[in-house]
Amino acid sequence: MASAEPTPPAPPSLKGRGESRLAALDGEELGSSSEASRSDAHSPLPVPRAAETAGAGSASHAAPNREGGPGGVGCLRTFRASDGYPFYLRHFAPPGAPKARLVVLHGIRSHGRWYERSCRAFADAGYDVHFLDRRGAGLNTAHRGDAPEFRRLLDDVAEYVIHLRERAAFLPVFVCGISWGGKLAVGLPYRKPHLVDGLVLLCPGLVPKIAPPLPRRARIALARVLRPWRTFPIPLNEPELFTANAEARAFIDADPFAVREATARFLFSSFSLDLYLKRAAKRVTVPSFLALAEHDRIIDNARTAAFVNRLPGGAQAVTYPGAHHTLEFEADGHPWLADVRKWLDARL
């Protein structure tokens, strides 16, 4: 029997199918169903529906999930990268013609399911929202906690954005990087210039407070050469690092789709990406919005703000009093969502 997915706390409660069923369908299109497309407080994950996997550099096309009002629960799809890896994404279509596209990248442990509330809100505001589950994370069961190198992760995002631009080149594209995903967001304009129109950085992991202890880092470096697929714990396995919300902590702790271990080559690539970003920062000429949480226990707010303020494209930074690292789990009506929408609207 498939394991039950825990109920997310801040968004409407969602009960879904477990990872074992999704693993059996890895690489297949996930479409919406009449059961899955309700947006009430107890909507399950969309029920997988078998379909042919899209070819390299293309996405599967499930029918947009619009039942139950604007936003719905999103529509699960797959996209096959140029190296053949098919990764999952959630698509939230706006109720009318989109005014721009928003591609969202999650943190090292999280995945798209954590952020459905904000995705629906952005879609309801007129944005065509695409939340990518990083290869080896979230619903992607192949090569769990692994990636060949950070440039491959940047190329996954770039290839998907190129795919979107081929379909509607006139629509602006913004990339939102959350936590560790903020590193990919900042690296993307350097890796692929002129591809995106702006960055939204939500508590980005550009200057973290937390890192593996020095002896473990030495073992990671050695394993990267001798046993690159050896796994190590991610140093963010305490739910209280993400939020003060007790229900959210319980959800994070029980989440079967979270990445809790990563391979030596993934972790080494993360260190390498930090060095890459020091060069990349000089070439990020698009504007950025930076959201910081006053009580963030994962990133260094002051050094992160200094890093982003040095970007040539300019940045607007807001620190939210009383907030914690995962802004998604703050109370309903928290201003961060409205601030991001206002910033995006001003750039259209």
The model's pLDDT over 188-212, given as tens digits with 9 standing for 90+, comes to: 999 999 999 999 999 999 999 998 8
Model confidence at 266: pLDDT above 50: yes
Confirm whether 47 is domain-assigned: yes
pTM of the model as a whole: 0.83
Residue 201 and residue 316 in contact, taking contact as beta carbons nearer than 8 Å:
no
The enclosing H or E element of 101 equals strand 100-105
Q: Would you give the distance in Å from CA 12 to the centre of its chain?
A: 19
Give the containing element (helix H, strand E) for 254.
Answer: helix 246-254
Q: Three-state DSSP class for 346?
A: coil
> Looking at residue 85, what is its pLDDT?
98
Categorise residue 27: left if φ over 0, alpha if ψ from -120 to 50, beta otherwise: left
Compute the Cα dihedral for 74, 201, 259, 85 and give only its sign: positive
* Number of domains observed in the structure of the chain: 1
pLDDT at position 149 over 80: yes
Mean pLDDT along residues 111-122: 97
In 3-state terms, what secondary structure has residue 75?
A: strand
CB 117 within 8 A of CB 90: no
Q: Which residue has the higher pLDDT, 319 or 37?
A: 319
User: What residues does 316 pair with on adjacent strands?
Assistant: 289
Token output for 174: 């913004």
Better pLDDT: 34 or 150 = 150
Higher pLDDT, 253 or 39: 253
Q: Residue 68 has what pLDDT? A: 29
* Phi, psi angle pair for 102, to nearest 5°: -125, 115
Q: Which residues pair with 87 in a beta bridge?
A: 79
Q: List the one residue out of 2, 5, 54 whose CA is nearest residue 24.
A: 2
Show the tokens assigned to 309.
């303020």
User: In this model, does residue 81 exceed pLDDT 60?
Assistant: yes
Residue 56 reports pLDDT greater than 60? no
Domain extent at residue 104: 21-345
Dihedral sign from CA coordinates of 204, 206, 207, 210: positive
pLDDT of residue 327: 98
Residue 7 has pLDDT above 60, yes or no: no
CA pair distance 265, 288, nearest whole angstrom: 30
Cα(293)–Cα(138) distance, integer angstroms: 24
Neighbours of 226 (CB within 10 A): 8
3 state SS of 127: strand
Give pLDDT, residue 147.
Answer: 97
pLDDT of 211 reads: 87
Residue 66 lies in a domain: yes
Residue 78 is assigned to a structural domain of this protein: yes
329 residue type, one letter: F
β 198-202/288-293 pair status: parallel
Whether 9 is in a domain gets the answer no
Q: Which of 58-72, 162-176, 255-269, 320-334 has the lowest mean pLDDT?
A: 58-72
In a domain, 6, yes or no: no
Task: Determine the pLDDT at residue 237.
Answer: 87
In a domain, 198, yes or no: yes
Res. 27: pLDDT tops 90: no
Mean pLDDT of the chain: 84
Domain of 178, CATH number, reads 3.40.50.1820
| pLDDT the model gives residue 118 | 98
Considering the domain boundaries, does residue 16 fall inside one? no
Say what the pLDDT of residue 60 is.
Answer: 56
Asked if the structure places residue 247 within a domain, the reply is yes
User: Does residue 144 carry a pLDDT above 50?
Assistant: yes
74 pLDDT band (50/70/90 cuts)?
A: confident
pLDDT at 20 (0 to 100)? 34
| Of 274, 199, 263, 242, the residue nearest 110 (C-alpha) | 242
